[in-house]
Structure 1
């Protein structure tokens, strides 16, 4: 059975392939949280409240998280645009991504 790709900005809700739609939804939420954590980390670094070691640790953690996200997108056959849900009049879920 060939997996039908959802149109960009939409969650795939095919009852025969609910696992893919669920993976897309979960990955979207994780990506949103990753972006929020990344922005908060940048503010803390710019605020000067972290030691050099804390900055290094934070950078490594964010890089590892991004690598894992890329790996999971490959596993679930998802692209960046598949994780940016169109919320209609509210715009896209993930800011800065089309």
Structure 2
């Protein structure tokens, strides 16, 4: 009967690790409202793109009637236009909403 052994590495000692600055959020009192608005607009754009992709899948699979396709298309277009107008009112473009996630890349996929 053989017995298997498993090597388990001990967690690193925090005192041995080089000191690295932690990731910080830099919030400026003067711009916090605009930063929050930009974040909300970014989330709305992300959700809009996800809903649009799901709608395209449903259209391609034939799950929707012609009326449903038209209504969905009009609704998504109205949402896009409203979001675009909000961005313009606050000095942003839709491209400004794409957050850089560092090594993960941009949050929003490139536009087709």
The two structures have a TM-score, normalised by structure 2, of 0.72
Deviations 1:42-78 (A, max 9, x none): 0000000110000010011011001101110012111
Gaps of 5+ in 1: 1-11
TM alignment of 1:1-98, pairs within 5 A: 13-97=27-111
Query: Normalized per residue, which structure has more helix?
Result: 1
Matched length: 87
The two structures have a TM-score, normalised by structure 1, of 0.82
Gaps of 5+ in 2: 1-25
Question: Which structure has the bigger radius of gyration?
Answer: 2
Runs (4 or more) in structure 1 with deviation over 6 Å come to: none
Q: Which has the higher contact order (CA 8 A, sep 6+)?
A: 1
